[in-house]
Structure 1
């Protein structure tokens, strides 16, 4: 079975006024101290209208229904676009009326911003009725003031397009600008920020005119950061399969911007990844950021278990790493958790279950081989050919020969006598010992006699000589004829019988010999052989 888990994280960025909200103080000019004459109400010094100042010696006007200066005023007839108040500014010839306000917080360099405001041309202005283009906004690091009433260029500015004239006297027209902040500007300026040479005017009869002169109403000023949301949510979908969900922007009067440029409110999201949508209210400056994370919860777990070896009778704790992705660990013994105690020789299995999968591994527990059992050994070798080779397992055990540590893999015994050997297992604390006794004896082939010889002086087998395979002492050789008569004897191993007796060649036939002697170190062992030999010529 596959599962899908959804988590929603909600957060807000808040300062005094909140991210994603209007950075303009008193945006509809509704906050004021008292009713005064509307003409020249906005001045360079802090005055009646909260948050707004003139940028030069010119003094823009302020109209309020509460103060009976609206809807009828000196320049025409108009209700506010929002609320009950609005302002009016003259731009005629070189004369400029612009206003400024300190933002709730400085702009963030590199972020995108959206600015909007509403304008309407006054019906009458000293019998000159023109509409102009190129109105706009400007930014400044500091408060702006020019003691004259002339044009002011304070910083970066955004203007409406050329030849797009604002002539409507009945309806409020929304003007918008989008820009990327090039610095941490703190002041926002509204009005006309070009000289007359770059501004066109239009009479009410639709005729272009080089005379710049108009009176415009302004209301409902908005500036907000498109890249900073006042609230965000992060919907996390943890799943074991590549899944598809529907992501949605906020309900309401919003414009939507998806990660891929889509502008629909709802969007189908497929595959693992992180997706986002911005819900932007361009009227109020509200920006909401919602992200949707489809997370692949599949993980690859390696249990890293190996075969283990213990001493019989002992027990051992075997464990796997307790990773956060593992939800359950079950051993074939029935134990649960990251560790289990084991003592019996067997094959075991451990199973780890994650959110999406189950991983299993088997391993063997075996007993350490018992220490090699040694026994007493009594063996006999031919005295001249003593060699007993013992192979010793140095991987598992420690060996002692005649009570001294022995580290070679082979022990060669070449001397007769008693030898002691001990083996110890330092892991399981066991040992075994034994004694090896090596004895020597006369080997039957220590002396060998030929069965015939031919004393004919041809250089081949002319003498009867024994073959010695050991060191002989007290040697004697005697040869008898078939009548029992001694025909040859010697005590010298290198002296042989030449087939004569008393200087005369003996007859062909069978003769008998007796050879004896002693061999070996220490107490010599006596050997004695008898046999027959054939004399031929």
Structure 2
């Protein structure tokens, strides 16, 4: 039985045998069916899903052709795990994940995956939401277009479904989302937790995941320089929405003022990088453009200098992290 198209879903009633006065049990768990994309009808060695005959159960395309990666199709297949056409990555959870275009330079096109929640949201209620994301890179497809990392990947909730099929116009980014990551997701090795909370202002029933911001708002980082059209590609796994504060993993809370006041210069840099306004004890990590960890340490003083004269020239991502917040910078080393 196929459960992936809007409206074709089974209600879940797990453990709701308490008294009438008890809290709604279904609201305490994850409202996303097939949250880590493990359930499917057929193990297909093919990229892209649009319709009820493709992709993970419950999920459908809201723009373009999101891709479904499965361990069952084998390493090195177009949608294989870990090696695929568009990247090399193991799932964050289970044996599958999805991927989609989150930035396209020429026309600003976006791909979105959509799912119906197990129950509609209650207006006025606070909801907690999260997912894991990784930048797609090191694929084996000839002439890869996905060599950019992008910011603003996130979650938009809607009252009605927005199914997309071939021939439909591409949706325009509305520059708003309920939960999103304002910094570039450039880690190609690990997974980045994107999370947040919001008060529902409508009886939202659907989740649409991807980059809901236009090119002018989206920050990018190029992993390489190729002559063909650049795109950013982001892998998604382990999606969660809950009314319970501890129902989903949460990483980012309110931005600490101290973290918000960090500044980095010069940029571009050549021999030395200066970082000011660093909170004592904050974790600092630097990755290169391929996602490799280059340097890490702890903030021991408000300002410090880092000798980068021996580092390869190119783009880097620096992240300063505290318990409830983090900030990401991109910088370039030149001759």
- TM > 0.5 fold call: yes
- Matching residue of 1:195: 214
The reply to whether residue 22 of structure 1 matches residue 36 of structure 2 is no
- Structure 1 residue 191: Cα displacement: 0.4
**Mapped partners of 1:59, 1:150: distance in 2:** 11
Secondary structure at the aligned position of 1:218 is classed as: strand
- Structure 1 residue 19: Cα displacement: 1.9
Deviations 1:223-242 (A, max 9, x none): 0113xxxxxxxxxxxxxxxx
Q: Do the aligned residues in 2 keep the contact of 1:200 with 1:212 (CA within 8 Å)?
A: no
Instruction: Name the TM-score, length of structure 1 as normaliser.
Output: 0.37
- Structure 1 residue 127: Cα displacement: 5.5
Q: Between Structure 1 and Structure 2, whose CA radius of gyration is higher? A: 1
The reply to whether residue 121 of structure 1 matches residue 141 of structure 2 is no
The partner residue of 1:157 within 177, 180, 186 is 177
The reply to whether residue 32 of structure 1 matches residue 43 of structure 2 is no
Deviations 1:55-80 (A, max 9, x none): 03x11111111222111111121111
The reply to whether residue 184 of structure 1 matches residue 203 of structure 2 is yes
- Structure 1 residue 90: Cα displacement: 1.4
Q: Do the aligned residues in 2 keep the contact of 1:52 with 1:101 (CA within 8 Å)?
A: yes
**Mapped partners of 1:159, 1:114: distance in 2:** 9
- Structure 1 residue 139: Cα displacement: 1.2
The partner residue of 1:215 within 229, 233, 240 is 233
Compared with structure 1, are the counterparts of its residues 102 and 128 closer, same or farther at alpha carbon in structure 2 (3 Å cutoff)? closer
Instruction: Name the TM-score, length of structure 2 as normaliser.
Output: 0.58
Secondary structure at the aligned position of 1:139 is classed as: strand
- Structure 1 residue 203: Cα displacement: 2.0
The partner residue of 1:103 within 110, 113, 117 is 117
- Structure 1 residue 150: Cα displacement: 2.5
Deviations 1:362-414 (A, max 9, x none): xxxxxxxxxxxxxxxxxxxxxxxxxxxxxxxxxxxxxxxxxxxxxxxxxxxxx
- Matching residue of 1:259: none
- Structure 1 residue 83: Cα displacement: 0.4
Aligned-pair Cα RMSD in Å: 2.8
The partner residue of 1:88 within 96, 99, 106 is 99
- Matching residue of 1:75: 86
Q: Do the aligned residues in 2 keep the contact of 1:95 with 1:149 (CA within 8 Å)?
A: no
Deviations 1:106-147 (A, max 9, x none): 000001111100001111461652211111111111111355
Deviations 1:491-513 (A, max 9, x none): xxxxxxxxxxxxxxxxxxxxxxx
Compared with structure 1, are the counterparts of its residues 76 and 29 closer, same or farther at alpha carbon in structure 2 (3 Å cutoff)? same
**Mapped partners of 1:46, 1:144: distance in 2:** 17
**Mapped partners of 1:196, 1:80: distance in 2:** 28
Q: Do the aligned residues in 2 keep the contact of 1:151 with 1:194 (CA within 8 Å)?
A: no
Compared with structure 1, are the counterparts of its residues 203 and 192 closer, same or farther at alpha carbon in structure 2 (3 Å cutoff)? same
Deviations 1:136-161 (A, max 9, x none): 11111111135546244579623535
Compared with structure 1, are the counterparts of its residues 156 and 121 closer, same or farther at alpha carbon in structure 2 (3 Å cutoff)? closer
Segments of structure 1 that go 5 or more residues without pairing to the other structure are: 1-8, 227-278, 285-537
Number of residues paired by the alignment? Answer: 215
The reply to whether residue 52 of structure 1 matches residue 43 of structure 2 is no
The reply to whether residue 283 of structure 1 matches residue 301 of structure 2 is no
Deviations 1:40-65 (A, max 9, x none): 1x214463421000003x11111111
**Mapped partners of 1:151, 1:130: distance in 2:** 21
**Mapped partners of 2:36, 2:218: distance in 1:** 27
Structure 1 runs (4+) greater than 6 angstroms displaced: none
Secondary structure at the aligned position of 1:95 is classed as: coil
Compared with structure 1, are the counterparts of its residues 128 and 23 closer, same or farther at alpha carbon in structure 2 (3 Å cutoff)? closer
**Pairs within 5 Å for 1:190-269:** 190-204=209-223, 213-226=231-244
**Mapped partners of 1:187, 1:156: distance in 2:** 16
Compared with structure 1, are the counterparts of its residues 145 and 88 closer, same or farther at alpha carbon in structure 2 (3 Å cutoff)? same
Compared with structure 1, are the counterparts of its residues 152 and 186 closer, same or farther at alpha carbon in structure 2 (3 Å cutoff)? farther
Q: Do the aligned residues in 2 keep the contact of 1:151 with 1:193 (CA within 8 Å)?
A: no
